[in-house]
Structure 1
Amino acid sequence: MKYFFYSIVLLSFLSCKNGEKVEKEETSNIVEKKGEKKIIQDEKTESPQVHLKSFDGLADTTFIRLADYSADFAYDMRYATENNFLKAKVYDCSECYTRVKTAKALIAANKDFMEKGVKIKFYDCYRPNSVQYKMWKIVPNPQYVANPVKGSIHNKGGAVDITLVDMDGEELNMGTDFDFFGKRAYHDNMDLPQEILDNRKLLKETMEKHGFWSIRTEWWHYNLSSASNEKIADFKWDCE
């Protein structure tokens, strides 16, 4: 009789534990139905949340890391590699910094691009003036590299080198690679396939709408008009 009593208690205990296990599994999946919509969340499969920073309290001239303020851009920072016209790595690590006012204009422009199914991809952003000296030492030709004594708008945190990619990360056809120095990269070269002309037009008109201007010989280069008078900077970011 004693053994029979213990068996009953043990079975009851196991039934309770199994009930608790089922309840936990069910509450780890929250399914909300609204019409035909289903929202499913699972702790095991949920993507990590990106915690973005706010511009509140920052001066327009402050340097910021763009990825901290928007997760909607793509990056291929060429000067942090040897895949550039210098054939040399001149940045210690790959980062995109700009001044706050440049970042705000870029985020606004990117919002317009994303409504059309594309987004900005960066090749270069703010460039410390010491890096400009490195580039000048490799290619001391003002046709390709701005003289570091006068500096570039890149050194002021107001210039970016960009292209457009679709939402899968595929680059739109712009006719040449970044830093191609030849007539095919000129904005006023109309002797190109219509697809290329349309892609460049989309890039140029949208950037101009948000306060940027281009240079005739480089389809990828854009300067923020209000940053032209900023001082040349040599702020350097930390590499992890």
Structure 2
Amino acid sequence: MRNFYSMLVFFVFLVSCGDKPKADKNAEQNEDVATKQMDTVVKEKEIPKKIFKTFEKLADTTFVRLADFSDGFGYELRYATENNFLKEKVYDCAECYTRVKTAKALLKVNEDFKKSGVRIKFFDCYRPNSVQYKMWKIVPNPQYVANPKKGSIHNKGGAVDITLESLDGEELDMGTDFDFFGKRAYHDNFDLPKEILANRKLLKETMEKHGFWSTRTEWWHYNLDGAHRYPIANFKWDCN
């Protein structure tokens, strides 16, 4: 009887070992499917069929190109270049899209900034979920890149990475470059020169006044209040 149980245990061990490669293969296949067929993608009605100059008749969830509504912003969209922490270009071309509700808030806050002689400069805006998968493949670390299966608010059209610049295009000193992952970029790090603290305060307080909230460890990142409720999107803009 003891030999019988020994043989049975050995048999179960062999079967379980044999199943593992199959399970791993299935997991890889599932991940490939998730990459190609996003669980949540932007609906057709959310994609504008033409260029709009006014928000009239557009739903808050519609994606719009910010430059079509104002020429008063600055842009340096880093992920369309190799000048980013990934050291790779992950956008085919540089564009700044957001949902209508986000765009409306950004226009209002930019008018407020102009009273202080500055304007918003964008490093990143809406980010397609397929790009999130590209970023995750390069740096699969949730400390730096949101897991694409869960998505980030960038994927929902409600987050922006920004700084401030003068109306002549000169960046204000914020103490670090965009995507600097260290304590010097934290909002609660007050061991910095007064000029840097004043610049960050102006950015943070003005953004919060218009319904955006900040991330403690990234002085450049702002989410529109309530944007986390939007679905993850994979709308991709055209490169002309």
**TM-score of the pair, normalised by structure 2:** 0.78
Q: How far does the alpha carbon of each residue in 1:76-112 deviate from its partner, in whole angstroms, 9 at most, with x for none? A: 0000000000000000000000000000000000000
2-side partners of 1:121 and 1:229: how far apart? 26
The residue type paired with residue 120 of structure 2 is: I
Q: How far does the alpha carbon of each residue in 1:36-90 deviate from its partner, in whole angstroms, 9 at most, with x for none? A: xxxxxxxxxxxxxxx9701101000000000001110000000000000000000
Q: 1:56 to 1:171 in 2, by over 3 A?
A: same
Displacement over 6 Å in runs of 4+: none
The residue type paired with residue 68 of structure 1 is: D
Q: Which runs of 5+ in 1 are unaligned?
A: 1-50
Q: Which runs of 5+ in 2 are unaligned?
A: 1-50
Q: Which residue of 2 aligns with 1:169?
A: 169
Q: How far does the alpha carbon of each residue in 1:174-227 deviate from its partner, in whole angstroms, 9 at most, with x for none? A: 000000000000000000000000000000000000000001000000000121
1:32-47 matches, cutoff 5 A: none
Q: Which residue of 2 aligns with 1:227?
A: 227
Q: 1:52 to 1:74 in 2, by over 3 A?
A: farther
2-side partners of 1:61 and 1:52: how far apart? 15
Quote how far apart the aligned CAs of 1:228 are: 1.3
Pick the structure with more helix per residue. 2
Q: Higher relative contact order by CA 8 Å / sep ≥ 6: 1 or 2?
A: 2
Q: Which residue of 1 aligns with 2:36?
A: none
2:58 is equivalent to residue 65 of structure 1: no
1:169-208 matches, cutoff 5 A: 169-208=169-208
1-side partners of 2:103 and 2:226: how far apart? 12
Q: Which residue of 2 aligns with 1:124?
A: 124
Q: 1:52 to 1:60 in 2, by over 3 A?
A: closer
1:202-221 matches, cutoff 5 A: 202-221=202-221
The residue type paired with residue 134 of structure 2 is: K
Q: Which residue of 2 aligns with 1:3?
A: none
Q: Which residue of 2 aligns with 1:150?
A: 150
2-side partners of 1:116 and 1:206: how far apart? 11
1:86-165 matches, cutoff 5 A: 86-165=86-165
2-side partners of 1:236 and 1:52: how far apart? 17
Q: How far does the alpha carbon of each residue in 1:156-187 deviate from its partner, in whole angstroms, 9 at most, with x for none? A: 00000000000110000000000000000000
Aligned residues of 1:52 and 1:70 also touching (Cα < 8 A): no
Aligned residues of 1:124 and 1:162 also touching (Cα < 8 A): yes
1-side partners of 2:226 and 2:67: how far apart? 22
1-side partners of 2:158 and 2:229: how far apart? 10
Q: Which residue of 2 aligns with 1:81?
A: 81
The residue type paired with residue 229 of structure 2 is: N
Tell me the matched-pair count: 190
Of all paired residues, the percent bearing the same amino acid is: 79
The residue type paired with residue 111 of structure 2 is: K
Q: Which residue of 2 aligns with 1:28?
A: none
2-side partners of 1:202 and 1:215: how far apart? 15
SS in structure 2 of the partner of residue 213 of structure 1: strand
Pick the structure with more strand per residue. 1
**TM-score of the pair, normalised by structure 1:** 0.78
